Amino acid sequence: MKKILTGNESAAWGARLSKAKVVAAYPITPQTSIIETIASFIANGEMDARYIRVESEHSAMAACIAAENTGVRTFTATSAHGLALMHEVLMWASGARLPIVMSVVNRAMAPPWSVWTDQLDTMAERDVGWMQVYSENNQEVLDSIIMSYRIGERHHILLPSMVIEDAFILSHTAEAVDIPEQKKVDDFIGEFEPAFKLDPDEPAGFGSLIMPEGPYMEFRYKMALAMEDAKREIEKAVEEYNETFGRNYAPFVDEYRTEDADAIMLVLGTIGSTAKDVVDAMRKEGKKVGVARVRYFRPFPTEEIRRIAKSTNMLGVVDRSYSFGPGADLYAETKSVLYSHTDVPVKDYVIGLGGRDVTPEVLRKLFDDMLKIANEGVVDKEIEWVGLHGDERWS
Amino acid sequence: MIEIRFHGRGGQGSVIASKILAKAFFMEGKYVSAFPYFGVERRGAPVTAFTRVDNQPVRAKYQIYEPDYVIVLDPSLLKAVNVLKGIKKDGTVLINTIHSPDEIRKTVKFDRVATVDATSIAISHRLGSQAAPIVNTAILGAFAKVSGLVKIETVMDAIREAAPAKQEENAQAAKDAYENVKIGGE
Amino acid sequence: MPIILPEEPTPIAKVPSTENKTGGWRTFRPIIDYEKCIRCYICWKFCPDTAIDFAAPEKHPAPKDALKRFDTVEINYDYCKGCGICANECPANAIELVLEQNVGGEEE
């Protein structure tokens, strides 16, 4: 059944179809309509879940952690400052190996105040042990929530997931979304079988103190292994989901006309969707460009990015965030995994911060710049901020 | 691809109108996308919303700058906002006002202008409060007539499915507007 | 053209919020009937935008002698958003809401 849904309504449907049993959340623009929609599902008897109102995002995550520890599936949602406020407990959730699923609506951090999209909020949480999957349309938002439960809940994985969508561009944009049949979703995810849980009959404590000579490092190493193992589970889940629900997702990187491209744009989120139109237009003019939209940032698609980089003459990384380090996040990590594997030129384009619109016109200029670099083999400037006021090269 | 821009004020339902119109096109087999230009929305402040329609999936994820149609829900916006901004030369402006297209052309310097008194239609169907009549469904009926891109029956069905209350009154308001819209130059 | 950067290191608002004239948001305009107004100032208290000001008694003379020495009130239409709370609260029903379009001058 297809319905016209916003990204946020799609996220709420994802939680509903996945039969989350506890939802604890605190409102923040532009996430609020996710939990409003879920609240109305529960109030109307369409979703059998307990909705917990809390006084902050920190408490929302704490409530999800406690609930998940009792052995039920949980869901929450947040954005920007709300996600930052959760920071401490995000690491508790992953360290406690609780496969919570959370929608994050990418919103810029203040000041200056902005409710519009960029990816600094989730990039700042890349090291907390959560999986991160980014979406290009509302269908992917809904589907990724269902897949995230399935992947995270495997007993050899047990990691939480952030399902990420761009503020307004998806969260408040309505598109036709196919809502999968409940029965098929049930079969795909299966009943939640916690690997361990709080049980009054078998009292236990979780998250105890470990002395330096104890297995603290070993627990962390197990998490690192689980994050790597998750790649196999993601592949399996995506393959089965595609088959069951008639989709066409790539597990890690959605490649569009990259096979013979002189230059490939590597990007996260909705910019990748607009870029596909630009690729089609430029291909008609004989310009061989392609786009590789990274879906999973955690686990990081190391092998895929190496293969893509080796297949082309230039890799342009488009970042809708900046990390005040050696370039923005996708760029820095891409360079890191390419080092000693290929010396294909790589350039970072920082764009669209604070929700500044990313149009086909500006993307075309990026592609032209990339083709020039591909042709000359020289990166003029490693990190380029695109479209600053007064800078007419990109306008 | 057809691109439509709505101008209204917070609380008048411009964003919902953009979605209902998308739904109507969807029901006729088109691919659609509807979205607001989201300021921090306040009741009464100018709001812009958009609908994209195409025969293939809409991958464009950016604002609309050169609309084919502009729909103005609140006549007081004509003073506050340049509703003609970026409109295509062969585009059309549809305005909720008590005035005729010829009268309104003195303010809105554009060839193709259509007008409809959606406020009176909304009030006659008791849509919204007296203080804030909801004109968003009525104006969609006028759009069906002016554009010829979508059937009035489909628009009415989309309204019946999407309106949170007074479904039939909203659908009838659209029909009234369909029948009473004045198209300039005819 | 060179890159244009803001002068300040962070946004610092030096423009008073009175520069933001919110009167343009109105759908309905509240109009005070000074014949009916009993100078109780309840509207002044309730206005969420402090868009109701005091004015000298002679500005809008009261019909009754007993009220003539009291200040009167005026609505500042530069900021009134037309929420109608004043009209709702007025114990003398002295404030009427009129559709802006009908007050005139809307589409000049």
Q: Write out pLDDT tens, residues C60-95.
A: 999 999 999 999 999 999 999 999 999 999 999 999
Torsion sign across C-alpha atoms A129, A130, A135, A140 = positive
For residues C15-36, one letter each, b for 16 or more C-beta atoms within 10 angstroms of the residue's C-beta and e for the rest, the string is: eeeeeeebbbbbbbbbebebee
The pLDDT value given to residue B38: 65
The pLDDT value given to residue B41: 62
The pLDDT value given to residue B132: 76
Using CA atoms, how far apart are residues A89 and C4, in angstroms rounded to an integer? 40
- Asked if A112 reaches chain C (Cβ–Cβ under 8 Å), the answer is yes
* Cβ–Cβ below 8 Å for A391 and C3: yes
In DSSP terms, B41 is beta-bridged to: none
Average pLDDT of B3-21? 92
* Residue A95 C-alpha, separation from nearest chain B C-alpha, in angstroms: 36
- The DSSP code for C1 is -
Q: Is the pLDDT of residue A373 over 90?
A: yes
Tokens matching residue A278:
């630009």
- The DSSP code for A111 is S
The answer to whether B61 and A273 have CB atoms below 8 angstroms apart is yes
Measure the N-to-C terminal CA separation of chain B; round to a whole number of Å: 26
Give the H/E segment covering residue A76. Answer: strand A74-79
- Asked if C48 reaches chain A (Cβ–Cβ under 8 Å), the answer is no
Using CA atoms, how far apart are residues A71 and A60, in angstroms rounded to an integer? 17
Q: Which of A213-227, B113-127, C9-23 has the lowest mean pLDDT?
A: C9-23
Tokens matching residue A267:
């990007």
Q: Which of A376-385, B69-78, C7-16, C87-96 has the lowest mean pLDDT?
A: C7-16
- Give me the residue spans of the domains in chain A: 2-245, 253-394
CA angle C56, C61, C67 (to 5 degrees): 85
The pLDDT value given to residue C108: 30
The answer to whether domain B2-183 has CATH 1.10.357.10 is: no
Class of domain A253-394 (CATH, top level): alpha beta
Using CA atoms, how far apart are residues B143 and B150, in angstroms rounded to an integer? 9
The answer to whether B18 and B32 have CB atoms below 8 angstroms apart is no
**Domains delineated in chain C:** 22-101 (3.30.70.20)
Q: How far is CA B38 from CA A115, B41, B50, in A?
A: 9, 7, 11
Q: Is the pLDDT of residue A347 over 70?
A: yes
φ and ψ at residue A63, rounded to 5 degrees = -65, -40
Q: Is the pLDDT of residue C106 over 70?
A: no
Q: How many CB pairs under 8 A join A and B?
A: 64
What is the ipTM, given to two decimal places?
0.92
The pLDDT value given to residue C73: 97
pLDDT band at C15 (very low <50, low <70, confident <90, very high): confident
The pLDDT value given to residue A212: 96
**Superfamily assignment of A2-245 in CATH?**
Thiamin diphosphate (ThDP)-binding fold, Pyr/PP domains (3.40.50.970)
Give the H/E segment covering residue B95. Answer: strand B92-96
- Give me the residue spans of the domains in chain B: 2-183
Residue B138: closest CA among B77, B73, B78: B73
- Asked if A110 reaches chain C (Cβ–Cβ under 8 Å), the answer is no
Mutation site, A29, A44, A175, interface B, largest B CB count within 10 A: A175
B130 half-sphere exposure, CB direction, 13 A CA radius: 6
Q: Residue A359 is nearest to which of B15, B58, B62, comparing CB atoms?
A: B62
pLDDT tens digits, one per residue of B71-93: 999 998 998 899 999 999 999 99
Tell me whether residue A298 is exposed, middle or buried, using C-beta atoms within 10 angstroms of its C-beta: 0 to 12, 13 to 18, 19 or more: buried
- Asked if A393 reaches chain C (Cβ–Cβ under 8 Å), the answer is no
* Cβ–Cβ below 8 Å for C22 and B44: yes
* Residue A377 C-alpha, separation from nearest chain B C-alpha, in angstroms: 31
pLDDT band at B171 (very low <50, low <70, confident <90, very high): very high
Bridge-based pairing of strands C28-32 and C95-99 is antiparallel
pLDDT tens digits, one per residue of A92-116: 999 999 999 999 999 999 999 999 9
φ and ψ at residue A55, rounded to 5 degrees = -100, 0
Highest mean pLDDT among A203-207, A294-298, B9-13, C15-19: A294-298
- Asked if A111 reaches chain C (Cβ–Cβ under 8 Å), the answer is yes
